[in-house]
Amino acid sequence: MTGTDQHRRIGKFELHELIGEGAMGAVWKAYDSVIRRYVALKILSGAVGRTQDARARFLREARAAGGLQHRNIVTIYDLGEADGQLFIALELVDGRDLSELIAGQEPLTLERKLDIAIDVLQGLAYAHGRGVIHRDIKPSNVRIASDGSVKIMDFGIARLQTADITGSGAIVGTPTYMAPEQITNGPITPATDLFAVGCLLYELLSYRKPFEGETVHGVLYQVLTTDPKALRAMVPSLPLALERVVAKALNKVPEDRYETARHMQSALSSIRAALSGASELTARLTPRWTPLPDAALRLVTHMSLKWRAAVLTALMVTALVLLYVSRSPSPVAAPLGTDATATVDQLLAYPLPAGLNAALTAQRDSALAARDRAHRAGAMKNNVPSLLLAETVLQNAERAVRAGDQAHAASGYLSAVAQYGKAQHEADGVRREAQQAIARATPVVHALATRPEAGRAGTSLARAESLFVAMDFTLAKLAALDAEQVGVAAGVAPPSPQPLDPRAAIAVLLQDLERAVSSERVANLRVLMPGMVEQDVAGWERFFRRYTRLTARYAVEAVTVRGDEAHATVRTLYTYVPAPGGAQSESRLRQAIRFIKTPDGWRVADIRDLR
């Protein structure tokens, strides 16, 4: 940025007032010196768009969002790059974020709360109709203008936030409003936004988040596995129909949520109308009996009782026949192979056409074998990204073979083999991540010993191990990370990942040992020295009581490795300040350290001083 006499500038914008800062960057009240109007200028942080591809993708998606012109969406005026920084110029909306109203538990009427949700859904319905999914609906992205209008913010940058800022796949911001498919890398659809609206409405109605946990990964686990507490248990005055609308929006399965934003909006509008005393809709939908024509009634009433009974009996029989015919299946049903609603498993269960080409049969068998391998690797259970494409390709191939289109069937089977191979590889990767997470959490939990946090961490770790055995690797990883976070919050540091080479692994282990000694926590030493007995614990506790401001440095003189055991001679330097006070001192020692290889990596077996 370059300075001016009064204001800093970025391109044509004068920066007047800092509105807020976050992971994505800073938002300024700025003056567009060309068009001569005030805007909200979002200057994105340097972490955004680190590569040219990322910057190009951001600009492409932000331009798509910039085409949205709706009264419930904050308008994007301009976007681009100036002075080496990406920026978005937005409509400046005077008002407050919905998150502020919720945090302050503003006394809003139920009608007003529903109006807010309905306006959000109107904006989303417009965006979804143009192929734009928000991906990050939450109270802080909903602006309540001073005139009462509702506007959705941050269209076009949510995907960048989740993909580009966190190169390691970490989660930015609160995960409370993330749909299960976002956590498991499933397909993102308009139903993803509707889940977030359900979370937002739940919080707006109860002033409590639907999913809460002590750690980020604990919240993610809740989103994937548990249903939130019933709304009417917290707010008994809410209509039952409203509770059902929120529960449907919060369904774990995207297909079981509302089909579109307009459908959910319609459901809320009906409840809103009922609260206002409107009865027209109810009257219009009430079933009514259509009377028989007057001519028919006169004909019946002038007949004798015997003929009246005959006519009524004939009418009854006719009605029953019509009812039976309307409910009976069509005698000429479409073959299952051409049924667009048939699932892969249904198609596979249907007999193959007679006289099928032997080569095509072999290709089909290869595709089914690849599907079975992916299934046994956990691809289906963990809903890995390539699985949906693999299942779709196989489904189309099965339809083609039953329709007699062998060329398309053969091409589909070959493609399915490759896609199922990718799905198997992705499932193996998810399994390894879960395994590593459990390996990191295990020593941390054990190091907690009898501390108050040990029970909760142990429960999460046991859950992770059980889920891993059940091949639910995604949930197993989250449960293990939750256990690890409990330990970290209690001051126990997990061991660092170790390379395969034993000598390199021991070097990493010694660095962890330096940090553990410097932390002056016996629990951190127990992570690295799982064989510690009570006598060792007591010795280290005395050591930490005697000295403060400890640092440790280990310089390796020699290392020998034999199988799962290794020995090292090290020069050790301790610097410290005596507990009673005084100047900093140091001690230099030569020590022999024995290491053992465990399923969780190399660990320290014992340390002894050398003379």
Which active-site residues does the annotation give?
A: 136
CA distances from 478 to 47, 166, 216, 578 (A): 26, 17, 9, 42
CA distances from 71 to 120, 147, 152, 434 (A): 10, 13, 9, 45
Q: Tokens for 328?
A: 């009976």
Which residues make beta-bridge pairs with 606? 594
Per the CB < 8 A criterion, the answer to whether 201 and 252 are in contact is no
Contacts of 61 (CB under 8 A, 6+ apart): 156, 157, 159, 160
Cα–Cα distance, 483 to 437 (Å, whole number): 10
Per the CB < 8 A criterion, the answer to whether 197 and 121 are in contact is yes
Cα–Cα distance, 271 to 240 (Å, whole number): 10
How do beta strands 547-562 and 565-578 pair? antiparallel
Cα–Cα distance, 247 to 187 (Å, whole number): 21
Angle made by CA atoms 536, 532, 493, in degrees to the nearest 5:
105
Per the CB < 8 A criterion, the answer to whether 179 and 138 are in contact is no
How do beta strands 37-44 and 85-90 pair? antiparallel
Q: Tokens for 80?
A: 């681009």
DSSP single-letter state for residue 83? T
Cα–Cα distance, 438 to 197 (Å, whole number): 33
Please list, residue by residue across 334-365, b when 16 or more beta carbons sit within 10 angstroms of its beta carbon and e when fewer do: eebbeeeebebeebeeeeeeeeeeeebeebbe
The residue behind tokens 């007047």 is: 16
Q: Please say whether the dihedral angle defined by the alpha carbons of residues 409, 415, 419 and 421, taken in this order, is positive or negative.
A: positive
3-state DSSP assignment of residue 17: strand
Which residues make beta-bridge pairs with 80? 87
